[in-house]
Amino acid sequence: MNKHAHGDVLRRQEEILRIVREQSVHSQDVLLALLKKRGFRVTQPTLSRDLRELGVAKSPNGYITRDAFAGGAVVAFAPRDVVETRLEQAVAEYVTGADTAGNLVVIRTPAASAQPVASAIDGASINGVLGTIGGDDTIFVAFLTPAAASAFVERLRRIIGTRHRNVR
């Protein structure tokens, strides 16, 4: 990457932060349009990467910066049915398989698709989940018990509509 390209990235990211701090933006499409009006050409995947790198999060009131969230300016809330729908959509769209290994669940996705699923699992506050680790195409979910892990795998399989054998 050359110096000018890096400078363009920094200017674009500064503008994203400025926009998000100045007004309520509820979608990436709106943010893309605002950036375009300000002379920035950016694709949706690049915008998603910028938002991730900047620590910009989506809240019920629109996108917020990391400092606004850390300062307690926003309390994140999503109704249970919205959280469940998000989980089901992420699983249906990205999960290709899931197996148990004791109290661990190993979830497979296509390349670069593990993070949306891991985030949806974290947001769903599933009973018995101790934590998740999301890589590029694999997610590990630690459960309190093997029974809870098995029940979650069955739930995932119902959503994706396939049967996989459990690894013991």
Residue range 64-80, pLDDT digits in tens: 887 665 544 444 445 55
- Whole-number pLDDT of residue 34: 94
Averaged pLDDT, 128-149: 94
For the domain made up of 3-70, give the CATH fold: Arc Repressor Mutant, subunit A (1.10.10)
What CATH architecture is 80-160? 2-Layer Sandwich (3.30)
pTM score? 0.53
Q: Are 44 and 28 in contact (CB under 8 A)?
A: yes
* Range with lowest mean pLDDT among 80-84, 93-97, 99-103: 80-84
Write 83-91 long-range contacts (CB < 8 A, 24+): 83/123, 83/124, 83/125, 84/124, 86/120, 86/123, 86/124, 87/120, 87/121, 87/123, 87/124, 88/159, 89/120, 90/116, 90/117, 90/119, 90/120, 91/117, 91/120, 91/156, 91/159, 91/160
Domain locations along the chain: 3-70, 80-160
- % of the chain residues with pLDDT over 90: 45
Residue 56 pLDDT > 90? no
Burial class (CB in 10 A: 0-12, 13-18, 19+), 134: buried
- Whole-number pLDDT of residue 22: 87
Residue-averaged pLDDT of the chain: 83
